[in-house]
Amino acid sequence: MYNIDQLNAKFGIEGELIFTKPENNLIFLNISNKHADAEVCLYGAHLTSFRPHNTEEILWMSPKSSFEQGKPIRGGIPVCFPWFGPHKTDQEKPQHGFGRLMDWEVTETATGTEDETLLKLQLCSSAATKVYWPYDFCATLTVIVGKTLEVNLKVSNLSSIPFEYSCALHSYFNLSGIGNISISGLQGANYHNQLEPGEFIQESPKIEIQKAETRHYHNTETTCIIEDTWFKRKIRVAKAGSKITTVWNPGKETCAIIGDLPDDGYLTFVCIEAVNAFDDIIILAPGESHTTQAIIGLEE
């Protein structure tokens, strides 16, 4: 792992990209270009901010989030890998996998032809990862900050045998208030809700969050739109390589018992996640790769 001076010398871009270490020795990367400002923590390859210059912050971060080794960061875009939710057979293993609990290596930074900023981070198999998962792999997170925020998680099987994994780009979106928003794009999709038994169909064209929701929409690759009437904006959430879209808000009761969320946190965020899980688990033969992508921006 490079230190701050080495990172800035090798990967910094003057006036555009700089590495800093503001909290508990975690290294952050700050991007500022003509389109937007963004921040990424190398611990967990975690996007913590994306703010186009003409709007409010798009990603939501918990003011009670831990920024320390061994604990996940709450908010932004956590990378869930190589499993989504609890481990299938070992409840002692970390929720949502180990990818968000490890430092990722910077492998590339660049300025694009339209003044967007590119960043590549990598987490490959090691003795530390094999404590949790026995396979040889390499995961690359490519982030492009421009008019939109593009996030690509590419996983490659470097083992001599097949393996399967699940993952998510677990995006938290900043809202003026949960009562001011609606989500469109999922009409007609089948979903199951972890909080209610049974299978459902999204019949109405818009979702309004009026209680705790953990909805997993199946066999859908459609784009979602978050319309926020108070902020007077529409956030466009597109994806590829994922057939599950998860919509999550913990609601009042659950929010109150999650230690790294403020009691009223549920009022100002909603998660819309690009997920590979359930009936969309990824199976890779040796040498194969799969990419899960989210593209986030404002609807013009």
CB 54 within 8 A of CB 64: no
Catalytic-role residue among 39, 150, 213, 273: 273
How far apart (Å, rounded) are the C-alpha atoms in residues 51 and 107? 24
Dihedral sign for Cα atoms in the order 149, 31, 169, 167: positive
CB 79 within 8 A of CB 153: yes
Catalytic-role residue among 46, 96, 170, 216: 170
The C-alpha angle with vertex 260 and arms to 52 and 268, in degrees rounded to 5, equals 45
* For residue 262, cis peptide bond before it (omega within 30 degrees of 0): no
What are the φ and ψ backbone dihedral angles of 12, each rounded to 5 degrees? -65, 150
Is 170 among the catalytic positions? yes
CB 129 within 8 A of CB 120: no
CB 52 within 8 A of CB 298: yes
* 123-142 b/e (C-beta count within 10 Å ≥ 16 → b): bebeeebeebbebbbebbbb
The burial class, CB within 10 Å (0-12 / 13-18 / 19+), for 224 is buried
Is 96 among the catalytic positions? no
Catalytic residue list: 170, 273
